[in-house]
Amino acid sequence: MTMKINQTTLALVRGDITRERVDAIANAANERLMGGGGVDGAIHRAGGPTIAVECSAIRAKQGGCPTGQAVITTGGNLPAKHVIHTVGPIWRGGDAGESELLASCYRESLRLAVEHGIKTIAFPSISTGVYGYPVAQAAVVALNGVKQFLEAHDGLDEVRFVLFDDVTYGAYENALATMEV
C-alpha cells in the first residue's frame, strides 16, 4: 500500500527490515545502543560488529541516546548504507507522554536522514514489541508523525514501513487508509 505526500512516496510492506535495499533503516534501539532483542538485535546481528563499534563511540561521547531522539551509524554488512537508531517509549498506559515521544522518534530519524542526504528510509514499528506500545495506536502516531514531517520538508524520495507480521501490517494499513492527505 502506498501514498504520495508532496514528492515522497509513503509505503507499507511486509518483510524483514534487515534485507531492505534503502539508504537507511531505522532501528528500534535501547538508550544504551547495545543491541537488544527484536528488531534491534536482528539489525546488530545482520549488520555485524561495525555497528556496535560505532554505537560504542556514540555512548562514549554522549552517554547513549535518550528516548525520542536518534543517532546515525553506518550499516555495516546490511544492504542499507546507514542505520538510524531511535529509542521509542516504553508503554505505561498512554498518560506518560508516550505518543509525543514516539512521534519524536520518527521526526528525529527523518531529520537526520535529510541532514545526511538520505533519500530512502525504512522504519519498523517502533515500541510495539517488548516496549508494549499497542500496535494500532502506534501505527496512527507513526504515520501521522511521518506525514507531518513530509508536509513540511522536502528531500526524501521514499519512506517505507517494513512490518514483520500480518497483525502489524494490518494495523498500519488501517491507519493509512483513514489518514487524510
Contact 73/109 with Cβ under 8 angstroms? Answer: no
Contact 25/78 with Cβ under 8 angstroms? Answer: yes
- Res 179: pLDDT: 85
Catalytic member of 40, 95, 154, 165: 40
Domains of the chain and any CATH numbers: 2-178 (3.40.220.10)
Percent of the chain with pLDDT over 70: 99
Q: Is 23 a catalytic residue?
A: no
Number of H helices, E strands in the chain: 5, 7
- Mean pLDDT, residues 138-151: 97
Residue 35 makes CB contacts below 8 A (sequence gap 6+) with: 41, 43, 44, 45, 51, 52, 55
- Res 181: pLDDT: 61
- Mean confidence (pLDDT) of the chain: 96
- Res 37: pLDDT: 85
- Res 29: pLDDT: 96
Asked whether the predicted pLDDT for residue 180 surpasses 90, the reply is no
- Res 36: pLDDT: 84
Asked whether the predicted pLDDT for residue 93 surpasses 90, the reply is yes
